[in-house]
């Protein structure tokens, strides 16, 4: 689910003097889109935005994009982030008016909320610390709002959120989520799940907040499906963890419909740490793409990572300027838990 666009620029790469990297913050209603990624003959978010940005900047071709979260068909976004490398002269000429012109150039189910020159080292995909999704479920017919039918799943039976949260707590941490993912050959299904929690919104809707460093295909929707089974009482709270431990797809796990899901937020480090974060992500996470590197260090033997010198180390594991950094400490830096005080995923409870 959360992967970069098929058209990737080198993370944190230096740009020549003829191009500039711009960050794009956008929202979209995913109902009428075949997901984010451009596909021949299909209407996609990337296809529309790439074409619209090319028109606004008066370029001869659509603009290649790299995205933080490649959402599936029917999935929405409140806080999607992308970047594009565009000709410097085109941005200098047309950049100031880009936001206003995109409002006219794009269809009404996509809105760019901000666009501007990105800080040095920024990569929408690899610089991200975490992604936050929210899934909305209405389990009470009295609360069903026809105006929210495109972004809220209706469930005919009441859900016990306490049982769902008990089950969710057993899934937190870094695990192989193969049991909840649609496999891609050669791609890892290891992910660090930082938060998985259900609460009642003021309108009575059950809202699940899911935060991880990244997600594999169908992971969020399969996790939600497993927790619904717990919430309605057909499975015990221990069941999702047992499925996880088995590490194979279980046909009893329902993959819920996409329309209840929205990408709410993508969090990035401070500007001075963007390039280091991208370098760390590429070294630690196993990537299927040819541009990824896996550093194998099962014993935690120190390896020099000069890009990380002086990077803020939230768990006190490493980060001393000029000191070697171990793969073990890198993993700690990448998987430090998200707490309520750090999380700013406000739309998840709206």
Residues classed as catalytic: 72
Closest by Cα among 29, 60, 56, 34 to 47: 34
If DSSP codes are grouped into helix, strand and coil, which group holds residue 249?
Answer: coil
| 93 vs 184: CA distance, rounded Å | 42
Q: How many CB atoms are located within 10 Å of the residue 315 CB?
A: 12
- Total H helices, total E strands in the chain: 8, 12
If DSSP codes are grouped into helix, strand and coil, which group holds residue 22?
Answer: strand
| 252 vs 39: CA distance, rounded Å | 31
| 267 vs 54: CA distance, rounded Å | 27
Closest by Cα among 41, 124, 123 to 77: 124
Report how far Cα 245 is from the mean position of its chain's Cα atoms. Answer: 24
Closest by Cα among 193, 190, 187 to 213: 193
Residues near 242 by Cβ (< 8 Å), separated by ≥ 6? none
Residues near 15 by Cβ (< 8 Å), separated by ≥ 6? 21, 85
Contact 240, 250 (CB under 8 A): no
Element (H, E) at 223: helix 219-231
For 201, the token pair is 């919104």
**Alpha-carbon distances of 20 from 64, 77, 330, rounded to whole Å:** 13, 25, 30
Three-state SS annotation for 303-325: ECCHHHCCCCCCCCCCCCCCCCE
């Amino acid at each position: 689910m959360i992967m970069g666009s098929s058209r990737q620029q080198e993370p944190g790469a230096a740009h020549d003097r003829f191009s500039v990297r711009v960050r794009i913050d956008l929202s979209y209603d995913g109902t009428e889109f075949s997901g984010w990624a451009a596909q021949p003959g299909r209407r996609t978010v990337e296809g529309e935005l790439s074409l619209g940005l090319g028109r606004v900047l008066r370029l001869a071709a659509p603009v290649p994009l790299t995205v933080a979260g490649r959402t599936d068909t029917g999935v929405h976004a409140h806080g999607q982030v992308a970047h594009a490398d565009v000709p410097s002269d085109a941005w200098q000429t047309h950049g100031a008016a880009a936001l206003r012109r995109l409002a006219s150039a794009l269809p009404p189910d996509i809105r760019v909320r901000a666009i501007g020159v990105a800080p040095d080292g920024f990569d929408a995909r690899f610089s991200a610390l975490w992604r936050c999704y929210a899934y909305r479920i209405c389990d009470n017919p009295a609360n069903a709002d026809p105006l929210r039918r495109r972004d809220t799943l209706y469930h005919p039976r009441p859900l016990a959120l306490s049982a769902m949260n008990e089950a969710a707590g057993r899934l937190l941490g870094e695990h192989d989520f193969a049991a909840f993912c649609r496999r891609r050959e050669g791609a890892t299904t290891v992910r660090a799940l930082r938060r998985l929690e259900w609460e009642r919104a003021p309108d009575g809707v059950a809202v699940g907040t899911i935060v991880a460093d990244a997600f594999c295909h169908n992971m969020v929707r399969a996790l939600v499906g497993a927790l619904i089974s717990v919430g309605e009482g057909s499975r015990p709270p221990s069941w999702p963890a047992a499925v996880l431990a088995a590490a194979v797809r279980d046909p009893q796990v329902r993959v819920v419909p996409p329309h209840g899901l929205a990408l709410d937020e993508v969090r990035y480090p401070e500007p001075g740490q963007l390039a280091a974060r991208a370098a760390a992500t590429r070294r630690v996470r196993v990537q299927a793409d040819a541009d990824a590197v896996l550093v194998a260090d099962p014993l935690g033997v120190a390896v020099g990572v000069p890009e990380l010198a002086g990077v803020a180390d939230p768990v006190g594991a490493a980060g001393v300027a000029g000191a070697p950094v171990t793969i073990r400490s890198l993993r700690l830096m990448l998987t430090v838990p998200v707490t309520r005080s750090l999380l700013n995923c406000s739309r998840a409870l709206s």
